[in-house]
Structure 1
């Protein structure tokens, strides 16, 4: 069984679904007592086991090994609740508890979620072997850089194969209806509702430029990529970019909406943003492709159509 922390979250649910589709069974560790599992409701209690446990609770975490035969771990959860010192203490503690538990359980591979934010900018395409700045602009970036250092050292020291997945901008079913980093969810939800987009919810408080964009990855593809890393026969590296491998523009999203919702016109600012909040960066996913055979299956048009269909079905 594969243990997933954050397995009922946005990316975690799709990763769990992808693992189930490849024949695996999963244990999902979560803090909450209430949960919803729309991607695998019929498999709860059979191929999916839900356990209420916080990974910072060492004893409770270790007891999972008494109940389940855990063979792999995908660590997607994080502690980001607002107290910077408490969060900075909890995140490495949770990772170290998982690694220690893995030693006792005989786990051979651990995947750990990192982020595109560790690059701190740069020149596209961003590659895993380029140097990273030893600074952090926010708590998530800081936690992920700490994760990567611990993983790179402890993988060799413990003999457990560990890798970090630098995850890009992810969107789609179960995600936020409004993102502070990019405008895609806002544009799509407004289009489905048939209402003007709420400008106040958009990054920078303005309509995006049609030629602006970023490296976007549809969440169903993200789940498949993470499952592919966990189940690959052999991994040659300790860090992998998980993203679309190209820049997706807002014009592509608008064209996808026009194809999916005939008569809809997405209002964008013409041309290029002269002062972009985020540079046009994308990730090199050559390592991911080579070691797992993974390829994104959702282009902008297919992803928009799938997301629109999911929103419409959920609203009925």
Structure 2
């Protein structure tokens, strides 16, 4: 099967590309290569993919790629994805995540794509209290410009399935972590700050809870959805590995041999969701997938990767210095 993968030079998208190529899929990648995109992530498979530096907001360029590659399926990762940045500049998120998704759905409808995997997020559900889990039937209740833009893209996929018959399947993963993640998200920020002996920022009192999904497991889940998922359905991708942010930070500091005195509590993010947690029973029953990486194993592998790739990490940190000042003070 010929796949067109958008956002394939991003963190999760590149892991999916690497796995898809190893499994024998023919792959074309579309990526704008924003600050968070990086072709280094695709170096091991670069000779086995077609790559197009195209912004999904550019409809005409997208049409040219589809016409040339003639993909059978689209796996749509491309998105502005960082909540903090969405609070600072909502427009970029609305434009890329909503207009860009519309463009892809429309072109896919026109050319007759066989499957369209729309990558959403658990953040579209909003937040939970101390108990309970989101299911695929939970109402959408986004609380940030990022999650609102993703909920909109999510619903556009539903519209194109129900109204136009486009074979859309929606995936809603929980918080991903692992190798190659850009150091604006919690785990690589903590690793980078700790290695530099700089204050490690923690929002509020660190009590917010996230469900941590190792990126390799997430990519495998999306492959299972591509191969076995039912058209028109939604699938949560989760791990059951819930941790308070402060506990994640302390675990990382311990692993890199740094004192917890580096922790610096900073002003909480506006509208900060308290807790996310999702049920993955549906994908397990229908697609045969379940998470295989515990948080302890995954975070150990992640920290080791960054320790072994400090050159890449610190180069990215240089790009982020001014941004870090804006966000963390």
Q: Give the TM-score band, short-chain normalised.
A: 0.7 to 0.9
CA distance in 1, matches of 2:273, 2:228: 36
Partner Cα separation in structure 1 for residue 252 and residue 307 of structure 2: 16
1:140 equivalent to 2:141? Answer no
Return the offset for 1:149. 2.0
TM-score normalized with structure 2 length:
0.76
Q: Is 1:44 equivalent to 2:50 in the alignment?
A: no
Partner of 1:312: 307
* Residue 10 of structure 1, CA deviation: 1.1
Matched, 1:62 2:63: yes
Q: 1:303 aligns with which of 295, 298, 302?
A: 298
Q: Secondary structure at the match of 1:235?
A: coil
Distance 1:290 1:55, change over 3 A: same
Query: Which residue among 221, 224, 231 is the counterpart of 1:225?
Result: 221
Q: Secondary structure of 1:127's partner? A: coil
The 1:186/1:236 distance shift into structure 2, 3 A limit, reads same
Aligned equivalents of 1:173, 1:298: Cα separation in 2: 14
Report the equivalent of 2:211.
215
The answer (yes or no) to whether the contact 1:167–1:243 under 8 Å persists in 2 is: yes
How many residues end up aligned between the 2 structures?
A: 294
Larger % of helix: which? 2
Distance 1:51 1:229, change over 3 A: same
C-alpha distance in 1, partners of 2:117/2:239?
19
TM-score of the two chains, using structure 1 as the length reference? 0.79
Aligned equivalent of 2:188? 185
Residues 24 and 120 (structure 1), Cα distance of their counterparts in 2 relative to 1, 3 Å cut: same
Unaligned runs of at least 5 residues, structure 2 = 262-267, 312-329
Q: For 2:260, which of 267, 282, 289 is the aligned residue?
A: 267
What is residue 318 of structure 2 aligned with on the other side?
A: none
Partner SS, residue 180 of structure 2: coil
* C-alpha contact (below 8 Å) 1:72/1:108 kept by paired residues: yes
- Cα pair 1:166 1:239 within 8 Å, conserved: yes
Please tell me whether the aligned partners of residues 57 and 99 of structure 2 are also in contact (alpha carbons under 8 angstroms).
yes
- 2:203 is matched with which residue? 203
2:119 corresponds to 1:113: yes
Query: Quick one: distance in 1 between partners of 2:229 and 2:33?
Result: 34
Secondary structure, counterpart of 2:118 in structure 1? strand
Give deviations 1:153-209, integer Å, cap 9, x for gaps: 211332222122222211221213343xxx433444456x3x65623x2223x6x46
CA distance in 2, matches of 1:288, 1:68: 30
Map 1:8-27 onto structure 2 (within 5 A). 8-27=9-28
Q: Deviations over 1:83-129 (max 9, x none)?
A: 54565355333222212221333311111122222111135211110
> How far apart, CA to CA, are the structure 2 residues paired with 1:304 and 1:190?
16
